[in-house]
Amino acid sequence: MAFRQVRDLLEWVHDFHDRLGKQYSGLAEEAADERMKMALVFLADREARLRDAMAAFLEDADQGLLTTWLIDSQQFGHPSVLERIPPCLGCHDVQDILANVMTAHQTLKDMYRLRAELAEIPEEAELFTQLADQQEAEARLQTRDLARLDMY
């Protein structure tokens, strides 16, 4: 999908978090190991929070920013990011899940950083820089909490 406006990209991010959360929930239901189940339930909850935060932002954001045209909407090809993130079917422990999660975070963070670099207006650059920083903070939080779970 080629995104045309900031809103298109942010709606896609909302849907991405929704799909990833559902993926984690489905895997949690199938997990036999209690630690794996707890980790996947935690991740599903975090993805739901990220989805809800993006929905709230889309409701309250400045319409001028949301309707900003992306400079490279025709040339910038967004890969199917969920296909690049393994479904974690071969995950055997919390460390496998963590590697999977870090792939998702890095993919989004890289996309946000690129959007900030390509931004035409300061507000757009600031938005995507903040999203990249938030994605990095979320990755640290999830890494810390999954490591704690793995320790006990």
Q: What is the pLDDT of residues 1-59, one digit of tens each?
A: 566 899 999 999 999 999 999 989 998 998 888 988 999 999 999 999 999 999 999 99
Distance from C-alpha of 7 to C-alpha of 114, rounded to nearest angstrom: 16
- Does 2.60.40 match the CATH number of domain 6-151? no
Q: Model-level pTM?
A: 0.87
Residue 129 and residue 114 in contact, taking contact as beta carbons nearer than 8 Å: no
For residue 149, the model assigns a pLDDT of 85
The beta strands (E) that lie in 48-131 are given as: none
Which amino acid belongs to residue 38?
M
CA distance 22 to 48: 9
Report percent pLDDT > 90 for the chain: 60
Does 77 have pLDDT greater than 60?
A: no
For the chain, the domains span 6-151
